[in-house]
Structures are given as structure tokens and as C-alpha cells.
């Protein structure tokens, strides 16, 4: 009888925890769902003490209030390198011994009660997501990094209110999601926030300048570290573009800006272009501050980035995905609305062309590969959520969204979006929730349509032929042989002499295939087409060159001919980009690449508009090879006064210096000295000094740089680390750099674990872009066959190695 009773008790207790006896590492979907059903009304009161010296740890205190529907063992997520990161723990007034199981602070059911509970913890914060430097730090907690900073329920559907206090070193300032409430004795206290998921909680602290912008009745504070007057002056433009985006979104959604304030920080070496923390958006200095005479493409990209991050205040921050498998839903809205918001700011740009130019090429870069993924991707655990991110969710998704708006109608879509935001404000929603709402505004079968476009991977191959009646016959082919059909409208037009012009409005998605003679005629006639058609054909021709249908030499020569006549800024920039890529992929150090470099040099030395000339220089320095190009590229840096009208930004000078050093080993020290003398600002000098040794002529120096990058501390500033790796693996160094492939791949799981969301992709891109040949292919194939890595991580490798392992690239 006693034995039966004991078994019954054990069975009852086992129902309070996952079946394996513990929560498991990361945040599993099972754990997240169980917590969501049980935990509510969460409030975090957080205090962090930031020491004067970077070698000292950041200490924290958390008071966490939450309500339980049922009493059971609770797991708070807390990932830390040390054995005892929690020094004190009090639950509902009772001091208990901290217990960490599988990266979780574990609170046994006997300490808890139904209804409101209070947990008090003293802890040491991990440095992993604090991004610490000597005189600044910032948190970046997406997607599951809040658990490295403080004990929490680190999942997007448990939103909470945050109250933050920071004890700062002397001279530091701070920014967080809410207003600064008071500051005294080195402590800054912030007011309570609106309900936020953990990944959107943020603070920034350090030595910053504060620039206040008042625009359209709004006050925005811009925290920055810039000293150059022409860059500081850009803060007013940045603030005005933020205000413009806010007003546009308020008008479209019918919902006033849903958070108490809107401030930003512009950070040197920031990992992404931007990150949409509510009220405390972070941006990279390289994306928000342009050179003194920016190109149209640079100004347009900045405006789109600002619009993108601002759109997130409604799409992602106000309404948040329930689980990170739907993270694409916030990104698709941000990019789709960004394209709409910037249109009034750039009346001289063809915005239909801008949409196709912005989204189709980067989407194809991943969708053409064996590693292509669906827009919606299954996710088992938030520790793998960073692998969801990529070009498909950022670029293919807006294309699909545009198709859906066309099906539903603009006004019906707007009404559906307004209903969606009102219904799920300060809460969470799934893609299916949105489809259910939009279904009420259309007779179209959105579910079956979206099942193909959203939940299946790849792009259709669209074979076009002249029909007997003189029209165009269309056949779709599924490259993965699943028998899928992608429903979409497309406009393919035959000319009077029988040439098929595919996808003339640029709206259809796929690889458009015609016979080789038709492709040749398109290459010859592309300059005669209107801009939208010209941009669409340019991408079609490039994709055909990659598919082996159009010879790369012919593509390169044809684009050189096109550039002589091209006057559209967006098309010119895209054509130059394709020219650089095709010559790097197929034609490096060939006669064809020499002709391409000559073409770009002649444009740069001509009297054409300055942004065309600068764009040409930026491109040719990446692939032009040979003695004459070594001399010219070096001369651009050392004797830049000889080239009137070419006003290089400091970032241009840095990039030219790296390329010049690789080509002119005997001038390595002189190039460094000249470049440093022309850089202003300690942050840029620090970046240059970090990256420049990767261009060293001494292999021992380069090997030491590579060994440093294999250690996590060598990758603290991720954009600098990937730049250094990219120059170590420069196209001209294939024979030596191939030795870096195996060790760099071996730490991929660590790169995923310690790096931020884009870092695995960026690491692989830097490692492999310059690689070719059978040896590189063998190393990658062996790793793919032997390594036990997550399928999503394997997909990233397949995407970034396609030009090496795909047979169509082997001549």
C-alpha cells in the first residue's frame, strides 16, 4: 500500500515538469507553451551596477512579480558561464538556495502559490549580450539573449512591464525603453514601460553626445559618438525622417504611436543595420551616418532603414509574434511598409523599380540554392531562433505580401491590418490569425495560396516559349520536384520579331528561362526598355548567367555596354554590383575581368555624375587585378588629390586601403600610415587597426589574426570580425585561405551560440565568398556529411557555399 502511494505521488509530481525530468537547454516550444498557460501579469524591477573597469562584472538585482494559474515548479531562463551566478534568492519572503538546471533558475513548487508571487534575486550578468567596451555598453537581446542578462521568462508571448535602474560610471549617460524618471548619485531610474517581450527590453550606456530633434511636435533624442560636423548635422535629417515615418504609420493604422517615447542610439560597430527596441531603437553608425556627399542609393537605404525600424513599433512591438517561427511576420510588414513610407521623400525615384531592385535580388541569392528555406520555418527551441533570419524572410516575404495585397485590394488590406492591430495590441498573434482576419475581406482562398508561398521553399522555374498563335506559353517547373504550382500574375510580352520579354513589370517571382538566342537579344536590347522592365531584365540575365544559360563573359561584356548608356541611379548601381559579382565568381584575373575593370575605371574618370563615378570605383577595387590595378588602387588612396570630383568617405578610404595593401605588399606600412592620418574619430581608427592586419603580406600575421578570430573574445565586435575574415579569405588568396575553411567551419555551432542572429551567415559569407575549386568543395562537402549540426545551420552553409559546391559553377 505504501509503495503504491509513493508511486502515485511520484507520478503526480512528474506531471509538473517535462517528461525528461528537467526543462532542457534553451527554451523549448514545450516549455514555452506550458509557461504561457500558467504565468501572467509579469513585472521586472531590474537594477544593474556598471563598474568603472571593463574587467569587472556587471552585478544585478531583480525583483520579479508574476501570477500563477496553478502551482508547479517554475523554470526561469538564465544562461551563464559561471557555476554560481545567483548569489541570493528570495521567493515569497523565503530565502532559498539557488538551483540552476539546464540553463534555468529552478523554483520548486513548495515555494510558490496560486496568484501573485514575488521573486528577488542578486546575480551576475553575463557579458555575452552586454556588448561591453571601455566607454560604452548596449544590450542586444534578440531572440533569446535576455536570459544571459537576467533571470526571466525569455519567450515572446510572456510580455511584461519593466522598471530599470542603472548605476553608471562618472560621465556616462543612459537610454532605455522608457523616460528617464530621475538621476541622482550616479543612478539613473527609468519609468515603467508598456508591456514588452523580453527581446525588446534594452538599455544603452556610455560616453555619448545627445542631440535633441523637435519635428512635427515630437521630441526625439539621438545618442551618438560622432565628432565630424557634417555627420552631426545629419541628426536633424534622421530625426525628420523618423517623424515622417511615425506620422505615416499613425495615419495608415489609425493607432497613435503606442509607446511613451522614441529615442535612438547610433553605435559604432553595431551588429545590424538597426534594432527596434520600443522607445530605444539602436542603429549602426555605418548605416545612419553617410559620407559628406552620399549617393542616392545611400540616402535611400538610410531612409528605408529608418522606416523599417519605425514600422516595427506597430508590427513586432505593439503586436508581437507568439513564437519565433513567425518572426517573418514582423519583418515582412516592416519592409513592405518601409517601401511605401519612403516614396514621398524621394519623388525622383521610380518606386516600382525600387521595390523590385530592393527585394528580388537578395531573395534570389538564397532561394536559388540547395539551402533555400521556406518563409515560415518550424522552430523547436529558441536557442536556434537566430537561424530563422535571412534574406528569405526579409526580402522574399515582402514580394509575397505585395502579391497578397494585389489579390485582396489596397483598402480591404488596410482595414484588415487595422483590425489585426486593434485586436492584438500589446499582445501576440500568429500568421494564421492574420490570414483569418484578411479572409473576411476577400473571396480569395488565402490559406491554400499562402501554403505554397509561405510554407514551401524555393522559387519556380518559368519556361517561356512562343506559342503557335504568336503569344507566350508558360510552363512552371518545381526545382525540388514536389509538383508545386506558385499562383501569381505575370506579364510576358513577345515583340514583333519574336523576342520574348519576360516579366516586364518585374512583379513575378522565379527564374525566367528562354532559349539562348532570346537571352542574347535581351542583352542587346536591354537599354531600349523602360526602367522597370530594364531592372527586371537585368536581374533575369544575371540569374541566367548563374544558371549556366548565359556565358559569364558575355554577361560581363553586355553589362559594360549597358553601363555606357545607363542613367537611372538604381539600375546603374545594381548593374555594377552584378558586374563585380560575375567577375569575382567566374572571371577573376581574366581578360574579361580586365575589360570590366577598364569599363568601370573609364566611368570613374569621366565627367558623369559623381555618384556613378564613386560606385564604379567601389566595385572595381573588389575584383580588378594585375600590376596596373595595383598601382591605380594604391594611387587613389595615397594621391587622392589627383582625382577631382571623387570625394571619398572615410569608409571608402578604409576599404580602398585594405584592397591596396593586398595588392601592394611592399607598401603595407605606408598605406596604413596614410590611412590613419586621414581618419577622424577614435572609433573608426580602432576599427581600422583591428581589420588591417588581415590584409598583411605576412602569412604568419594573417594566421595570427585567424587564430584570434577562432576565440570568442576575438569576435566581440562582429562586423569587424567578419570584415577581417573576408580579407583573410580574399579572392586573390584562395590557395592559402583554403586552409582556413576546416577550422572556421568546426566552430560553427559556437558561432551560433555566442554570436548574434546574423553572425553565422555573415561568418560563412566572409569565409567562403572568395573560395573556389575542388579542395574547397571537398572540405565543405565533408563537413556537411560528417558534422552534426542543426538543419537550419546546415541550410546557411548550403546557401553561402553554393558557388563552390554547385556543379553549375565548375567550368
- For residue range 774-786, list pLDDT tens digits in order: 999 999 999 999 9
One domain for residues 413 and 493:
no
What residues contact 549, with CB distance under 8 A and at least 6 apart? 513, 516, 519
Mean pLDDT in order along the chain per 10 residues (811 residues) = 42 40 93 99 99 97 99 98 94 98 97 99 97 97 98 99 98 98 96 99 98 93 96 97 98 98 98 98 97 94 98 99 98 98 95 97 98 98 97 98 96 98 98 95 92 97 92 96 96 95 98 97 98 99 96 98 97 98 96 98 96 97 97 96 91 98 98 97 96 99 99 97 99 97 98 96 98 97 97 98 84 47
Lookup result for grid cell 536591354: 526
One domain for residues 78 and 188:
yes
Q: Which CATH number fits the domain that encloses residue 71?
A: 2.60.40.1730
| Distance between CA atoms of residues 450 and 78, nearest Å | 37
Nine cell digits for residue 540? 533575369
Lookup result for grid cell 551560433: 752
One domain for residues 501 and 390:
no
18 part of a folded domain: yes
| Distance between CA atoms of residues 718 and 531, nearest Å | 37
How crowded is residue 339: how many other Cβ atoms within 10 Å of its Cβ? 19
| Distance between CA atoms of residues 75 and 463, nearest Å | 54
Residues 787, 741 contacting (CB under 8 angstroms): no
Residue span of the structural domain in which 360 resides: 319-455
Q: Which CATH number fits the domain that encloses residue 427?
A: 1.10.390.10
Q: In what order do the strands lie in the sheet with 74-77?
A: 74-77, 104-107, 100-101
676 part of a folded domain: no
One domain for residues 483 and 344:
no
Nearest to 578 by CA among 570, 690, 372: 570
One domain for residues 183 and 61:
yes
151-167 b/e with 16+ CB inside 10 Å = b?
bbbbbbbbbbbbbbbbb
pLDDT tens for 596-611 read 999 999 999 999 999 9
- CA 467, 471, 477, 483 dihedral sign is negative
Nearest to 209 by CA among 196, 190, 192, 222: 222
| Distance between CA atoms of residues 739 and 721, nearest Å | 18
148 part of a folded domain: yes
| Distance between CA atoms of residues 612 and 617, nearest Å | 9
One domain for residues 527 and 412:
no
Paired residues of 106 in beta bridges:
75
Please report the pLDDT score of residue 18 as a whole number. 43
Provide the 3-class DSSP secondary structure of residue 152. strand
| Distance between CA atoms of residues 139 and 204, nearest Å | 7
245 part of a folded domain: no
One domain for residues 338 and 451:
yes
Last residue of a domain, one of 141, 173, 207: 207
The radius of gyration of the chain's CA atoms, rounded to the nearest angstrom, is 27
Nearest to 387 by CA among 683, 7, 756, 75: 756
Lookup result for grid cell 576565440: 711
One domain for residues 62 and 138:
yes
661-676 b/e with 16+ CB inside 10 Å = b?
bbbbeebbeebbebbe
Lookup result for grid cell 558557388: 803
131 part of a folded domain: yes
How many domains, in total, are found in the chain?
4
Which phi and psi (to 5°) does residue 250 adopt? -60, -45
One domain for residues 422 and 484:
no
378 part of a folded domain: yes
Residues 696, 246 contacting (CB under 8 angstroms): no
What residues contact 255, with CB distance under 8 A and at least 6 apart? 314, 318, 418, 421, 422, 425
Please report the pLDDT score of residue 13 as a whole number. 39
Last residue of a domain, one of 413, 431, 455: 455
194 part of a folded domain: yes
703 part of a folded domain: yes
Last residue of a domain, one of 162, 187, 207: 207
One domain for residues 540 and 443:
no
| Distance between CA atoms of residues 143 and 137, nearest Å | 19
Residue 59, Ramachandran bin (φ over 0: left; ψ between -120 and 50: alpha; else beta):
beta
Angle at 501 between CA 496 and CA 506, to 5 degrees: 145
Please report the pLDDT score of residue 6 as a whole number. 42
Instruction: Give the CA distances from residue 706 to residues 684, 712, 739, 772, 781, in Å, rounded to whole numbers and listed in that order.
Output: 21, 12, 11, 19, 22
Q: Alpha-carbon dihedral of residues 84, 88, 90, 95, nearest 10 degrees?
A: 100
Nine cell digits for residue 273? 543595420
Label residue 788 exposed, middle or buried (CB < 10 Å: 0-12, 13-18, 19+). Answer: exposed
One domain for residues 427 and 544:
no
Please report the pLDDT score of residue 11 as a whole number. 38
| Distance between CA atoms of residues 764 and 399, nearest Å | 26
One domain for residues 481 and 358:
no
| Distance between CA atoms of residues 702 and 712, nearest Å | 18
Amino acid at each position: 500500500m505504501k509503495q503504491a502511494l509513493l508511486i502515485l505521488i511520484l507520478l503526480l509530481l512528474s506531471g509538473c515538469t517535462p517528461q525528461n525530468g528537467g526543462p532542457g537547454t534553451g527554451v523549448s516550444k514545450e516549455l514555452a507553451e506550458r509557461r504561457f498557460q500558467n504565468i501572467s501579469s509579469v513585472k521586472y524591477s531590474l537594477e544593474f551596477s556598471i563598474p568603472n573597469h571593463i574587467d569587472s562584472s556587471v552585478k544585478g538585482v531583480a525583483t520579479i512579480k508574476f501570477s500563477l494559474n496553478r502551482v508547479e515548479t517554475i523554470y526561469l531562463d538564465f544562461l551563464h558561464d559561471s557555476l554560481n551566478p545567483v548569489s541570493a534568492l528570495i521567493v515569497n519572503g523565503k530565502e532559498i538556495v539557488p538551483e540552476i538546471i539546464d540553463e534555468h533558475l529552478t523554483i520548486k513548487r513548495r515555494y510558490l502559490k496560486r496568484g501573485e508571487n514575488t521573486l528577488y534575486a542578486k546575480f551576475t550578468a553575463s557579458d555575452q549580450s552586454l556588448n561591453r567596451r571601455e566607454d560604452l555598453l548596449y544590450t542586444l537581446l534578440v531572440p533569446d539573449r535576455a536570459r544571459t542578462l537576467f533571470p526571466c521568462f525569455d519567450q515572446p508571448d510572456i510580455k511584461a512591464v519593466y522598471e530599470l535602474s542603472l548605476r553608471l560610471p562618472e560621465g556616462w549617460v543612459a537610454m532605455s525603453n522608457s523616460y528617464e524618471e530621475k538621476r541622482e548619485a550616479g543612478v539613473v531610474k527609468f519609468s515603467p514601460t508598456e508591456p514588452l517581450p523580453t527581446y525588446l527590453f534594452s538599455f544603452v550606456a556610455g560616453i555619448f553626445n545627445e542631440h535633441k530633434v523637435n519635428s512635427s511636435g515630437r521630441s526625439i533624442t539621438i545618442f551618438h559618438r560622432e565628432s565630424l560636423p557634417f555627420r552631426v548635422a545629419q541628426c536633424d535629417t534622421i530625426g525628420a525622417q523618423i517623424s515622417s515615418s511615425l506620422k505615416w504609420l499613425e495615419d495608415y493604422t489609425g493607432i497613435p504611436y503606442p509607446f511613451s517615447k522614441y529615442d535612438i542610439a547610433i553605435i559604432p560597430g553595431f551588429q545590424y543595420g538597426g534594432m527596434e527596441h520600443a522607445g530605444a531603437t539602436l542603429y549602426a553608425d555605418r548605416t545612419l551616418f553617410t559620407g559628406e556627399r552620399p549617393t542616392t542609393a545611400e540616402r535611400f537605404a538610410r531612409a528605408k532603414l529608418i522606416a523599417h525600424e519605425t514600422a516595427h513599433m506597430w508590427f513586432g512591438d505593439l503586436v508581437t509574434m507568439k513564437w519565433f517561427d513567425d518572426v517573418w511576420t514582423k519583418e515582412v510588414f516592416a519592409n513592405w511598409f518601409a517601401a511605401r513610407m519612403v516614396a514621398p521623400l524621394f519623388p525622383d525615384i521610380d518606386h516600382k523599380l525600387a521595390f523590385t531592385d530592393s527585394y528580388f535580388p537578395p531573395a534570389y541569392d538564397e532561394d536559388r540554392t540547395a539551402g533555400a528555406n521556406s518563409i515560415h520555418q518550424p522552430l523547436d527551441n529558441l536557442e536556434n531562433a537566430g537561424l530563422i533570419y535571412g534574406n528569405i524572410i526579409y526580402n522574399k516575404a515582402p514580394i509575397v505580401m505585395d502579391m497578397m495585397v494585389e489579390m485582396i485590394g489596397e483598402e480591404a488590406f488596410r482595414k484588415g491590418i487595422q483590425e489585426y492591430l486593434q485586436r492584438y495590441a500589446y499582445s501576440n498573434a500568429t500568421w494564421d490569425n492574420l490570414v483569418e482576419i484578411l479572409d473576411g475581406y476577400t473571396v480569395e482562398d488565402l490559406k491554400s495560396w499562402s501554403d505554397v508561398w509561405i510554407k514551401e521553399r524555393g522559387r519556380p522555374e518559368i519556361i517561356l516559349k512562343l506559342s503557335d498563335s504568336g503569344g507566350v506559353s508558360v510552363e512552371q517547373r518545381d526545382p525540388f520536384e514536389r509538383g508545386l504550382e506558385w499562383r501569381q500574375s505575370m506579364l510576358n510580352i513577345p515583340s514583333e520579331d519574336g523576342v520574348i520579354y519576360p516579366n516586364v513589370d518585374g512583379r513575378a517571382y522565379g527564374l525566367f528561362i528562354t532559349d539562348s538566342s532570346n537571352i542574347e537579344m535581351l542583352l542587346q536590347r536591354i537599354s531600349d526598355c523602360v526602367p522597370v522592365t530594364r531592372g527586371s531584365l537585368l536581374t533575369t540575365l544575371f540569374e541566367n548567367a548563374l544558371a549556366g544559360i548565359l556565358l559569364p563573359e558575355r554577361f560581363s561584356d553586355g553589362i559594360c555596354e549597358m553601363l555606357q548608356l545607363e542613367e537611372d541611379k538604381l539600375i546603374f548601381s545594381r548593374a555594377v554590383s552584378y558586374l563585380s559579382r560575375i567577375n569575382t565568381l567566374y572571371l577573376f584575373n581574366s581578360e574579361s575581368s580586365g575589360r570590366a575593370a577598364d569599363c568601370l575605371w573609364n566611368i570613374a574618370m569621366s565627367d558623369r555624375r559623381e555618384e556613378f563615378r564613386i560606385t564604379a570605383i567601389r566595385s572595381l577595387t573588389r575584383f580588378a587585378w594585375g600590376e596596373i590595378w595595383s598601382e591605380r588602387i594604391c594611387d587613389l588612396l595615397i594621391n587622392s588629390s589627383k582625382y577631382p570630383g571623387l570625394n571619398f568617405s572615410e569608409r571608402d578610404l578604409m576599404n580602398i586601403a585594405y584592397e591596396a595593401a593586398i595588392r601592394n605588399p611592399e607598401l603595407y606600412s605606408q598605406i596604413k600610415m596614410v590611412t590613419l592620418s586621414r581618419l577622424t574619430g577614435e572609433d573608426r581608427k580602432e576599427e581600422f587597426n583591428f581589420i588591417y592586419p588581415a590584409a598583411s603580406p605576412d602569412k604568419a600575421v594573417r594566421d595570427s589574426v585567424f587564430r584570434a578570430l577562432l576565440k570568442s573574445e576575438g569576435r566581440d565586435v562582429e562586423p569587424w570580425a567578419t570584415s577581417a575574415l573576408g580579407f583573410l579569405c580574399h579572392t586573390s588568396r584562395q590557395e592559402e585561405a583554403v586552409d582556413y575553411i576546416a577550422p572556421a567551419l568546426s566552430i560553427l555551432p559556437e558561432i551560433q551560440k555566442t554570436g548574434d542572429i546574423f553572425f553565422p551567415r555573415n561568418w560563412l559569407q566572409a569565409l567562403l565568398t572568395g573560395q573556389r575549386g575542388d579542395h574547397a568543395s571537398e572540405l565543405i562537402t565533408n563537413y556537411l556529411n560528417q558534422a552534426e549540426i542543426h538543419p537550419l545551420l546546415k541550410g546557411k552553409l548550403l546557401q553561402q557555399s553554393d558557388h563552390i559546391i554547385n556543379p553549375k559553377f565548375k567550368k
